[in-house]
Protein backbone atom coordinates (compact mmCIF):
# COMPACT_ATOMS: atom_id res chain seq x y z
CA UNK A 1 0.00 0.00 0.00
CA UNK A 2 2.82 2.42 0.85
CA UNK A 3 4.62 1.67 -2.40
CA UNK A 4 1.43 2.29 -4.40
CA UNK A 5 0.97 5.58 -2.54
CA UNK A 6 4.59 6.56 -3.25
CA UNK A 7 4.16 5.85 -6.97
CA UNK A 8 0.98 7.97 -7.05
CA UNK A 9 2.74 10.87 -5.32
CA UNK A 10 5.68 10.64 -7.71
CA UNK A 11 3.50 10.65 -10.84
CA UNK A 12 1.39 13.54 -9.51
CA UNK A 13 4.47 15.64 -8.75
CA UNK A 14 6.04 14.86 -12.12
CA UNK A 15 2.85 15.87 -13.93
CA UNK A 16 2.19 19.02 -11.88
CA UNK A 17 4.78 21.18 -13.66
CA UNK A 18 2.10 22.74 -15.87
CA UNK A 19 0.27 24.17 -12.84
CA UNK A 20 3.11 26.64 -12.28
CA UNK A 21 4.38 26.61 -15.89
CA UNK A 22 7.89 26.15 -14.40
CA UNK A 23 7.61 29.74 -13.15
CA UNK A 24 6.43 31.57 -10.06
CA UNK A 25 6.95 30.55 -6.45
CA UNK A 26 5.17 27.18 -6.64
CA UNK A 27 7.57 25.27 -8.90
CA UNK A 28 10.47 25.35 -6.39
CA UNK A 29 8.02 23.85 -3.89
CA UNK A 30 7.17 21.09 -6.38
CA UNK A 31 10.86 20.36 -6.99
CA UNK A 32 11.54 20.27 -3.26
CA UNK A 33 8.67 17.80 -2.77
CA UNK A 34 10.17 15.65 -5.53
CA UNK A 35 13.47 15.50 -3.63
CA UNK A 36 11.61 14.49 -0.47
CA UNK A 37 9.72 11.80 -2.38
CA UNK A 38 12.95 10.40 -3.86
CA UNK A 39 14.57 10.21 -0.41
CA UNK A 40 11.50 8.56 1.07
CA UNK A 41 11.67 5.95 -1.69
CA UNK A 42 15.01 4.82 -0.23
CA UNK A 43 13.31 4.47 3.16
CA UNK A 44 10.42 2.52 1.66
CA UNK A 45 12.93 0.11 0.13
CA UNK A 46 14.01 -1.14 3.58
CA UNK A 47 10.46 -1.60 4.90
CA UNK A 48 10.15 -5.18 3.57
CA UNK A 49 13.24 -6.07 5.60
CA UNK A 50 11.71 -4.55 8.74
CA UNK A 51 8.44 -6.40 8.08
CA UNK A 52 10.31 -9.68 7.64
CA UNK A 53 12.18 -9.20 10.92
CA UNK A 54 9.01 -8.45 12.88
CA UNK A 55 6.98 -11.33 11.42
CA UNK A 56 9.70 -13.98 11.68
CA UNK A 57 11.30 -13.14 15.01
CA UNK A 58 10.57 -15.78 17.68
CA UNK A 59 12.19 -13.80 20.55
CA UNK A 60 14.12 -16.89 21.57
CA UNK A 61 17.84 -17.66 21.84
CA UNK A 62 20.05 -14.62 22.34
CA UNK A 63 17.32 -12.09 21.50
CA UNK A 64 16.90 -10.56 24.95
CA UNK A 65 20.63 -10.49 25.63
CA UNK A 66 21.24 -8.69 22.34
CA UNK A 67 18.32 -6.28 22.14
CA UNK A 68 17.78 -5.57 25.85
CA UNK A 69 19.93 -2.47 26.34
CA UNK A 70 19.54 -1.43 22.66
CA UNK A 71 15.77 -1.05 22.96
CA UNK A 72 15.80 2.38 24.59
CA UNK A 73 18.29 4.04 22.16
CA UNK A 74 16.48 2.42 19.22
CA UNK A 75 13.13 3.82 20.32
CA UNK A 76 14.63 7.27 20.92
CA UNK A 77 16.24 7.23 17.47
CA UNK A 78 13.00 6.20 15.77
CA UNK A 79 11.02 8.93 17.57
CA UNK A 80 13.48 11.69 16.69
CA UNK A 81 13.97 10.52 13.09
CA UNK A 82 10.19 10.39 12.60
CA UNK A 83 9.84 13.92 13.96
CA UNK A 84 12.67 15.11 11.71
CA UNK A 85 11.03 13.56 8.66
CA UNK A 86 7.73 15.26 9.49
CA UNK A 87 9.51 18.61 9.75
CA UNK A 88 11.21 18.07 6.38
CA UNK A 89 7.89 17.24 4.73
CA UNK A 90 6.26 20.36 6.23
CA UNK A 91 9.10 22.71 5.27
CA UNK A 92 8.15 23.29 1.59
CA UNK A 93 4.76 24.62 2.68
CA UNK A 94 6.18 27.18 5.12
CA UNK A 95 6.17 30.87 4.20
CA UNK A 96 9.41 32.75 3.64
CA UNK A 97 9.41 34.26 7.12
CA UNK A 98 8.64 30.95 8.83
CA UNK A 99 11.08 28.99 6.69
CA UNK A 100 14.21 30.37 8.35
CA UNK A 101 13.03 29.46 11.84
CA UNK A 102 11.82 26.06 10.60
CA UNK A 103 15.21 25.36 9.01
CA UNK A 104 16.84 26.07 12.35
CA UNK A 105 14.52 23.60 14.10
CA UNK A 106 15.25 21.01 11.38
CA UNK A 107 19.01 21.45 11.78
CA UNK A 108 18.76 21.03 15.56
CA UNK A 109 16.65 17.90 15.14
CA UNK A 110 19.13 16.49 12.60
CA UNK A 111 22.01 17.02 15.03
CA UNK A 112 20.03 15.17 17.69
CA UNK A 113 19.36 12.28 15.28
CA UNK A 114 23.06 12.05 14.43
CA UNK A 115 23.95 12.07 18.13
CA UNK A 116 21.44 9.29 18.88
CA UNK A 117 22.73 7.27 15.93
CA UNK A 118 26.32 7.53 17.17
CA UNK A 119 25.18 6.39 20.61
CA UNK A 120 23.38 3.41 19.07
CA UNK A 121 26.46 2.42 17.07
CA UNK A 122 28.60 2.74 20.20
CA UNK A 123 26.21 0.54 22.21
CA UNK A 124 26.06 -1.98 19.37
CA UNK A 125 29.84 -2.26 19.08
CA UNK A 126 30.08 -2.71 22.82
CA UNK A 127 28.19 -5.98 22.50
CA UNK A 128 30.22 -9.13 23.04
CA UNK A 129 27.75 -10.94 20.78
CA UNK A 130 28.50 -11.02 17.08
CA UNK A 131 26.00 -11.34 14.20
CA UNK A 132 24.98 -14.94 13.62
CA UNK A 133 21.99 -16.87 12.30
CA UNK A 134 20.14 -16.58 15.61
CA UNK A 135 20.55 -12.79 15.62
CA UNK A 136 19.98 -12.23 11.91
CA UNK A 137 16.56 -10.60 12.35
CA UNK A 138 17.70 -8.39 15.23
CA UNK A 139 20.80 -7.24 13.36
CA UNK A 140 18.81 -6.48 10.20
CA UNK A 141 16.27 -4.50 12.21
CA UNK A 142 18.95 -2.38 13.87
CA UNK A 143 20.60 -1.69 10.52
CA UNK A 144 17.30 -0.80 8.82
CA UNK A 145 16.23 1.63 11.53
CA UNK A 146 19.67 3.22 11.62
CA UNK A 147 19.66 3.56 7.82
CA UNK A 148 16.23 5.24 7.88
CA UNK A 149 17.44 7.73 10.51
CA UNK A 150 20.53 8.47 8.42
CA UNK A 151 18.38 9.14 5.34
CA UNK A 152 16.22 11.55 7.36
CA UNK A 153 19.34 13.42 8.48
CA UNK A 154 20.68 13.54 4.92
CA UNK A 155 17.34 14.85 3.68
CA UNK A 156 17.42 17.64 6.26
CA UNK A 157 20.68 18.95 4.76
CA UNK A 158 19.07 19.17 1.31
CA UNK A 159 15.99 20.89 2.75
CA UNK A 160 18.00 23.52 4.62
CA UNK A 161 20.59 24.39 1.97
CA UNK A 162 20.03 27.23 -0.50
CA UNK A 163 18.70 26.15 -3.88
CA UNK A 164 19.71 28.80 -6.40
CA UNK A 165 18.98 26.44 -9.29
CA UNK A 166 15.35 26.33 -8.12
CA UNK A 167 14.96 30.11 -8.22
CA UNK A 168 11.83 31.49 -9.88
CA UNK A 169 11.46 33.58 -13.03
CA UNK A 170 14.67 32.32 -14.57
CA UNK A 171 15.12 32.85 -18.29
CA UNK A 172 15.93 29.22 -19.00
CA UNK A 173 12.57 28.14 -17.55
CA UNK A 174 10.79 30.65 -19.76
CA UNK A 175 12.67 29.42 -22.83
CA UNK A 176 11.80 25.80 -22.02
CA UNK A 177 8.16 26.79 -21.64
CA UNK A 178 8.10 28.62 -24.98
CA UNK A 179 9.82 25.71 -26.74
CA UNK A 180 7.25 23.33 -25.33
CA UNK A 181 4.38 25.54 -26.48
CA UNK A 182 5.88 25.84 -29.97
CA UNK A 183 6.38 22.09 -30.28
CA UNK A 184 2.81 21.52 -29.15
CA UNK A 185 1.53 24.05 -31.69
CA UNK A 186 3.52 22.45 -34.51
CA UNK A 187 2.40 18.95 -33.64
CA UNK A 188 -1.23 20.06 -33.61
CA UNK A 189 -1.45 22.38 -36.64
CA UNK A 190 1.32 21.19 -38.93
CA UNK A 191 -0.23 20.53 -42.40
CA UNK A 192 1.30 17.07 -42.62
CA UNK A 193 -0.43 16.24 -39.36
CA UNK A 194 -3.74 17.93 -40.15
CA UNK A 195 -4.16 16.36 -43.57
CA UNK A 196 -2.79 12.93 -42.79
CA UNK A 197 -5.08 10.05 -43.63
CA UNK A 198 -5.37 8.94 -40.01
CA UNK A 199 -6.29 12.45 -38.86
CA UNK A 200 -8.89 12.96 -41.58
CA UNK A 201 -10.44 9.56 -40.87
CA UNK A 202 -10.64 10.41 -37.20
CA UNK A 203 -12.19 13.83 -37.94
CA UNK A 204 -14.82 12.28 -40.22
What is the maximum span of the chain, computed from C-alpha positions, in angstroms? 81
Alpha helices by DSSP H, listed for 70-95, are: 71-90
Contact 146, 77 (CB under 8 A): yes
Tell me what pLDDT residue 18 has: 62
Report DSSP letters for 21-59, one per residue.
TT-TTHHHHHHHHHHHHHHHHHHHHHHHHHHHHHHH---
CB atoms within 10 A of CB 185: 10
Please list the ranges in the chain whose pLDDT falls under 70: 1-10, 13-27, 128-132, 162-177, 180
Q: Report the pLDDT value the prediction gives residue 169, as an integer from 0 to 100.
A: 46
pTM for the whole structure: 0.66
Q: Report d(CA 121, CA 58) in Å as an integer.
A: 24
* pLDDT computed for residue 173 by the predictor: 58
pLDDT for the residue numbered 16: 67
Amino acid sequence: ALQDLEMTINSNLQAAWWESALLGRHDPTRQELLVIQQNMQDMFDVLPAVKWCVLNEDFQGQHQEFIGDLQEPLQALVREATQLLKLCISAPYAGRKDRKSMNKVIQESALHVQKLQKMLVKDYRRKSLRPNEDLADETTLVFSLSFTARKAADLSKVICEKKEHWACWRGDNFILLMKGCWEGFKNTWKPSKMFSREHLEFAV
